[in-house]
Amino acid sequence: DGGITQSPKYLFRKEGQNVTLSCEQNLNHDAMYWYRQDPGQGLRLIYYSQIVNDFQKGDIAEGYSVSREKKESFPLTVTSAQKNPTAFYLCASSTLQGAANVLTFGAGSRLTVL
């Protein structure tokens, strides 16, 4: 079955540590995205990549970094510079359906900073 796999599902981090969230897709989609969900704030875009070896900052990129070395993979690193990293992180990839760019999401990773 085609889809998006995020790992780990739950992650705990001590303050000052960097952590990397994995995102792999086998949908053959060119574009991939990272969103963050906080209660009452919807989904906010962190980074996105339209093609391999290229990516753009979203609305809340500070304290995060990404890489896109392969079409299938778009890992997100939460650095110690991110002041409030506890959140639910969602990875997505997209394809055109008619006129709409439809995102397919993974199951998410919940990061908790202790």
Partner 1 sequence: DQQVKQNSPSLSVQEGRISILNCDYTNSMFDYFLWYKKYPAEGPTFLISISSIKDKNEDGRFTVFLNKSAKHLSLHIVPSQPGDSAVYFCAAGWGTSGSRLTFGEGTQLTVNP
Binder of partner 1 out of 4, 19, 21, 76 (CB under 8 A): 4
* Residue 53 φ then ψ, to 5°: 70, 20
**Residue 5, strand partner residues:** 24
Burial 11-31 (b: 16+ CB within 10 A, else e): bebeeeeebebebbbeeebeb
Site pattern 18..47 for partner 1 (x: CB under 8 A): ------------xx-x-x----xxxxxx--
> Pick from 107, 99, 114: which is nearest to 37 by CA?
107
Considering beta carbons, is residue 18 or 112 the nearer one to partner 1?
Answer: 112
Binder of partner 1 out of 78, 92, 111, 113 (CB under 8 A): 92
Rule CB under 8 A: is residue 86 a binding residue for partner 1? no
The first and second tokens of residue 2, run together, are: 């085609």
> Which residues sit at the interface with partner 1, rule CB under 8 A?
4, 6, 30-31, 33, 35, 40-45, 48, 50-51, 58, 88, 90, 92, 94-108, 110
